[in-house]
Amino acid sequence: MSARFLKSVPAFPLVYDAGDGIILALEALFRYRGRRRSVAWLAGISGDAFKFVYDRGEVFEPLRDRVPVDTATLAAQAVGLEGRWLLDAPRSQVIEAVAHSLARGYPVLAPYLAPQVHSAALIVGLDEAAGTFDLQVPRPD
């Protein structure tokens, strides 16, 4: 068991009007890996720019997708990266996958992992012995 940490992963804005938080986090991830892509390019290639959303709830409720599209996976695949979700995976499998990604120098996209942030975060560190993650969360602009 060891600790792993990626340094200099860029912060990304928490600007709800600028786009999907996942797309903003992916832009920071790609920038860190030297694969610069604009937020507009990522939104277009992933389908995020073309999602129809409707708001039938109170003003404070988030918008709901009319037709759900896995924009994160599509954006990752567009630049040759693996994009997959570990839904209902045991914690040991998640820690193993995060450790593998960090060892290769890739932060891990983790939507809604930070309780105080209602957006995506990037896992940039892992203490395997403690089973804890270090997060890069959006910065308010």
How do residues 6-58 score in pLDDT, each as one tens digit?
988 988 877 665 557 888 888 899 899 888 889 899 989 888 887 766 555 55
Q: Decide if 88 contacts 103 (C-beta within 8 A).
A: no
Helices (H) and strands (E) in the chain, counts: 4, 8
Q: What domain count does the chain have?
A: 1
Which pLDDT score is estimated for 87? Answer: 84
Which pLDDT score is estimated for 74? Answer: 86
Beta-bridged to residue 13, according to DSSP, are 139
Interior/surface letters 32-65, b for 16+ CB within 10 angstroms, e for the rest: beeeebebebbbebbebbebeeeeeeeeeeeeee
Which pLDDT score is estimated for 77? Answer: 86
Q: State which residues form the domain around 117.
A: 3-140
pTM of the entire structure?
A: 0.78
